[in-house]
Structure 1
Amino acid sequence: MNHLHTLLATTDLSAPSRHASLRAAMLAQQTGARLELVHVIEKKAIEELQRWLGGAGETLQERIRSQARETLVQLAADIGDPLGVSVGHHLAEGPVLESILAHADNLDASLLIAGAHGTRFMHHWLLGATAERLLRKTLRPVLVVKQPPRDAYRSVLVPLDFSPWSEGAVRLAQAVAPQARIILMHAFEAPFEAKLRFAGVEEDVIHRYRTKARQDALTRLDKTAADASIATDNCRPVVIYGDAAFRILEQEEERGADLIVLGKHGTSITEELLLGSVTKHVLAQSRCDVLVARR
């Protein structure tokens, strides 16, 4: 099982981002990980304020810094004290994304936590700019919090494609939600089925072909669970025929999942990590929290 040693939660000090901070505190309590909060004051905004207000801008700048610092300290106490969790806090100035990533590197954060939206969201489930940019730029796992947290995660949906990443995804799910039921899911469309049908192959032959593909997937899910040392009474394998993005959202609702674990592609922080079409669709349309890790 992956060990979570340091959690870094980003906050813009808005009410929606408070959900992410509270979820981070709950995870810290459950896993014993260290928790740090970071709030970044956008440097360009401060410089623009100075340009427009001149000398008066300096006084206002200091007031903004002071208020942000007080709010951040209060937030750390509000989320940490009731849970008995010590929460570190960092106030930074500069480009938001770069400042967050720098703090993540300095702390060697094993998980970043961000709200799905902040003060400027236009749609209830729209992914916020900071969360999306983090997902594309960091090699570290990112937990995108969409729901106000009430309890520890209870039902985690882990869609798998049987790539080398699959076992790591399961272990990460166990680390973030050690008490949850793990639903290992594979959505499949039998290879060459359309070509077989076009060639006039009988439906019962195609059905047998699809049945074999389903059984092969179940066998691989069982092996992945065994390799990740998941207790059989805490794991549910699900193999479904159809489009992966649609089926994931369907299973989220049907299984009552409160967390989905997905992957992204990339090997270096010098490149823009790729959010595949399935990951992007689920991030945009799911109602529950989403944990995204590099494949």
Structure 2
Amino acid sequence: MYQTLLVPLDGSKFSERALPIATALAQSLKARVALVTCLSTSALRSAGAPDAEFQATGEAQAYLAKLAQTLSEQGLRVETDVVYGEAAEAILREVDAFSADLVVMCTHGRSGLGRWIFGSVAERVLAHSPVPVLLVRPTGEPAALEPEPAQASILVPLDGSPLSEQALPHATALARALNSPILLLHSVEPSPLYYNYPLGVMAQETLDYEQGEARAYLDRVAKQLEREGVACQTQVLVGWPSDVIAYRGAAPNPRLIVMATHGRSGIARLLMGSVALEVVRRSPLPILLVRPEVDAAKKTDRAG
């Protein structure tokens, strides 16, 4: 499924935090790595000096060559490219140029921690990328996905919709490559009545029913994955989806979250302000986000 991993870099230590996880994935998947950096044409023009573009290009090529050498010494196939233009648009062009299957990048770059994903390069790439995007946090221990320990799972939140289930093939491919089980997670949102007596008694009955339905749904999905040779666990928790996913992601077991950018609420609800973005903001784990195909989801709904 993944043959080429595209890693955008801007020369900052933040952006380079994507390298350990990209390296581990490339080794496990036997994929090539494309390291790319973008030079802003507007910034070059404002520099004024006629040789500014030539100098900037040489520095960028030397920077990528040094990183590529390090990765090559680890047995990876590495290519590099320096492109011109605004960062997000240039990255998206490089996805096509390299026929990349996955973009691996940090949520922050040269602008630092003061600028979060809102309005950032990562947001624009995520909104328009034709392939999944794996986002790495800029703080904490650098993320790396080693094939061991096998007990570390890949967390896959599902809400029962065909849209959310489009993350499953990606999670399955990674589970096989990393020798990891998949942990299927479903959150049941409590009714506001749940916190009001005596209506809370009725709400509790509804909640119990919904939990039972959720467990049955996850069991069906898990059995299908197990028939495909992937070890699977399930868990149903009560709470708001972003809270539940971020909380479960902070537990010791999961090493990676794989989820769709849209679920039951559909494509009409943009990523900004959605459950997916809340998880990106709050979870300590790397998060692989898959933009679901609406037509495929509709066909699945009709087939069901």
TM-score tier by shorter-chain length is: 0.7 to 0.9
Once residues 216 and 269 of structure 2 are traced to their aligned partners in structure 1, the CA distance between those partners, rounded to angstroms, is: 35
One-letter code aligned to 1:86: R
Q: Aligned runs of 1:187-202 on 2, under 5 Å?
A: 187-189=187-189, 193-194=191-192, 201=199
* Deviation at residue 244 of structure 1 after TM alignment: 0.9
2:83 to 83, 89, 92: 92
Give the structure 2 partner of residue 111 of structure 1.
Answer: 102
Q: Which has more helix, going by share of residues?
A: 1
- SS of equivalent to 2:83: strand
* 1:9–1:36 Cα contact (<8 Å) kept: yes
* 1:141–1:294 Cα contact (<8 Å) kept: yes
Give the structure 2 partner of residue 170 of structure 1.
Answer: 168
Identical positions, percent: 29
One-letter code aligned to 2:216: T
* 1:139–1:293 Cα contact (<8 Å) kept: no
1:137-175, Cα deviation, whole Å (9 max, x unpaired): 223210001251344273321111111133331221122
* 2:164–2:260 Cα contact (<8 Å) kept: no
Change (3 A) 1:230 1:11: farther
Change (3 A) 1:243 1:77: same
Change (3 A) 1:257 1:141: same
* 1:11–1:21 Cα contact (<8 Å) kept: no
1:46-94, Cα deviation, whole Å (9 max, x unpaired): 11112xxxxxx12333222111101101111112322x11111111111
* Deviation at residue 214 of structure 1 after TM alignment: 0.7
Once residues 225 and 246 of structure 1 are traced to their aligned partners in structure 2, the CA distance between those partners, rounded to angstroms, is: 23
* Deviation at residue 223 of structure 1 after TM alignment: 1.3
* 1:21–1:79 Cα contact (<8 Å) kept: no
1:157 partnered with 2:155? yes
One-letter code aligned to 2:187: A
1:237 partnered with 2:234? yes
* Deviation at residue 37 of structure 1 after TM alignment: 1.3
- SS of equivalent to 2:51: helix
Once residues 135 and 222 of structure 1 are traced to their aligned partners in structure 2, the CA distance between those partners, rounded to angstroms, is: 31
1:127 partnered with 2:127? no
Change (3 A) 1:280 1:108: same
Once residues 159 and 46 of structure 1 are traced to their aligned partners in structure 2, the CA distance between those partners, rounded to angstroms, is: 44
Give the structure 2 partner of residue 49 of structure 1.
Answer: 47
* 2:181–2:231 Cα contact (<8 Å) kept: yes
One-letter code aligned to 2:110: T
Give the structure 1 partner of residue 250 of structure 2.
Answer: 253
Once residues 199 and 269 of structure 2 are traced to their aligned partners in structure 1, the CA distance between those partners, rounded to angstroms, is: 44
* Deviation at residue 222 of structure 1 after TM alignment: 1.4
Give the structure 2 partner of residue 54 of structure 1.
Answer: none
1:160-199, Cα deviation, whole Å (9 max, x unpaired): 1111133331221122343223111000125xx4469879
Once residues 176 and 108 of structure 1 are traced to their aligned partners in structure 2, the CA distance between those partners, rounded to angstroms, is: 19
Once residues 229 and 130 of structure 2 are traced to their aligned partners in structure 1, the CA distance between those partners, rounded to angstroms, is: 31
Give ranges in structure 2 of 5+ residues lacking alignment. 293-304
* Deviation at residue 242 of structure 1 after TM alignment: 1.2
Once residues 197 and 73 of structure 1 are traced to their aligned partners in structure 2, the CA distance between those partners, rounded to angstroms, is: 59
Give the structure 1 partner of residue 12 of structure 2.
Answer: 14
* 1:264–1:275 Cα contact (<8 Å) kept: no
One-letter code aligned to 1:221: L
* 2:155–2:258 Cα contact (<8 Å) kept: yes
One-letter code aligned to 2:159: D
Change (3 A) 1:159 1:272: closer
* Deviation at residue 260 of structure 1 after TM alignment: 1.5
Once residues 232 and 4 of structure 1 are traced to their aligned partners in structure 2, the CA distance between those partners, rounded to angstroms, is: 19
Once residues 82 and 170 of structure 2 are traced to their aligned partners in structure 1, the CA distance between those partners, rounded to angstroms, is: 29
* Deviation at residue 100 of structure 1 after TM alignment: 1.0
The alignment's C-alpha RMSD in Å is: 2.8
Once residues 195 and 102 of structure 2 are traced to their aligned partners in structure 1, the CA distance between those partners, rounded to angstroms, is: 46
Once residues 181 and 172 of structure 1 are traced to their aligned partners in structure 2, the CA distance between those partners, rounded to angstroms, is: 13
Once residues 232 and 209 of structure 1 are traced to their aligned partners in structure 2, the CA distance between those partners, rounded to angstroms, is: 35
One-letter code aligned to 1:261: V
Once residues 166 and 62 of structure 2 are traced to their aligned partners in structure 1, the CA distance between those partners, rounded to angstroms, is: 39
* Deviation at residue 227 of structure 1 after TM alignment: 2.9
Give the structure 2 partner of residue 68 of structure 1.
Answer: 60
Please say which of residues 249-258 and 101-110 is displaced more in the overlay.
Answer: 249-258
1:177-231, Cα deviation, whole Å (9 max, x unpaired): 43223111000125xx44698795571x443332221111011111122333467
Change (3 A) 1:222 1:90: same
Give ranges in structure 1 of 5+ residues lacking alignment. 51-56
